[in-house]
Amino acid sequence: MRYPVITLTTDFGGADHFAGAMKGVILGIAPRARIVDISHEVPAFAVTGGAFAIAQAYRYFPPKSIHVVVVDPGVGSARRSILAEAGGHYFIAPDNGVLSMVFAREAGAEKVRHITAARYFLQPLSQTFHGRDVFAPVAAHLASGVPPARFGKRIGDYIRLDFFRPNRTGKRVWTGLVLHIDRFGNLVTNLHIDEFPGVRTRPFELNVGLEKLTRLAENFSAGQPGELLVIPGSSGYLEVAVREDSAARRLGCAAGAPVELVLY
């Protein structure tokens, strides 16, 4: 692209200089790059939250967009930095499972490289800020036309987590979890409507916290104010919501909380 797109997904928040420093590095190397913030509000150290965020967003960007994902509690350790090609896009991230949902969606088509070419890093290299010194400059050099093969050799043992897959625990029972809580307090589960279409036509129970929910609504306005709802969210996952209120606060649930689906 004449004006390459580079996206940023991090747990840096907006109070510190971290995201701004990454953008400065990128623009210093690739001044024509268009930088898009997907989110800097991934919960701190929440690899699963970063995985969810990038998996929901990358498909809506132009082909060959470069997605930098920095949720990196292992920065400075032996964990690897990787460059992946999947679904017609590039991904630059720590090898800690943060791209697991992307790899699952693009299974069999991904190519992953261990980033080892130090000549493309910012020097001196910090052991606590690889977002600035490794991921940002690699993204910028890639956007400037450096071929992926120059950054390192392909690997096959990169980390893939399966936290987003529910487990069948009975004949009609599946145990899952809350993948994400959005700013409205909606609980996004890892139960995808495409995998459980029966919730549209059969009686079901979705057990969350101390509540047992039995009705599927197609949108938020289908319920009464204050009513707990199960809806198929825009990501395709079943969500627990309260019309005009926070389901997370109402149920006392956080990301990672268990959920149970029973189909009759």
For residue range 62-75, what is the model confidence (pLDDT) as tens digits? 999 999 999 999 99
How many structural domains are present in the chain?
2
Q: Which domain holds residue 147?
A: 5-151
pLDDT band for position 2 (50/70/90)?
A: confident
pLDDT at 33 over 80: yes
pLDDT at 260 over 90: yes
Give per-residue pLDDT as tens, 208-230.
999 999 999 999 888 888 899 99
pLDDT at 108 over 90: no
Which pLDDT does position 116 carry in this prediction? 98
Percent of the chain past pLDDT 90, that is, above it, reads 94
Q: What ranges in 30-133 are assigned the alpha helix state H?
A: 47-57, 100-105, 130
Q: What is the CATH number of the domain that holds 245?
A: 2.40.30.90
- Residues 226/184/188/105 CA torsion (nearest 10 deg): 150
Please give the average per-residue pLDDT across 17-35, as a whole number.
98
Does any domain span residue 229? yes
Q: What ranges in the chain are assigned the alpha helix state H?
A: 18-29, 47-57, 100-105, 130, 136-143, 247-251
Contact 230, 217 (CB under 8 A): yes
Q: What is the CATH number of the domain that holds 137?
A: 3.40.50.10790
Which pLDDT does position 109 carry in this prediction? 85
pLDDT at 1 over 80: no
pLDDT band for position 83 (50/70/90)?
A: very high
**Domain final position from 151, 186, 208:** 151
Please give the average per-residue pLDDT across 166-179, as a whole number.
97
The model's pTM: 0.94
State whether 205 and 143 are in the same domain. no
**Domain final position from 100, 119, 151:** 151
| Three-class DSSP category at 151 | helix
Whose tokens are 């919730």? That residue is 199
Does any domain span residue 129? yes
Mean pLDDT of the chain: 96
Which pLDDT does position 223 carry in this prediction? 82
Percent of the chain past pLDDT 70, that is, above it, reads 100
Does any domain span residue 124? yes
Which pLDDT does position 97 carry in this prediction? 97
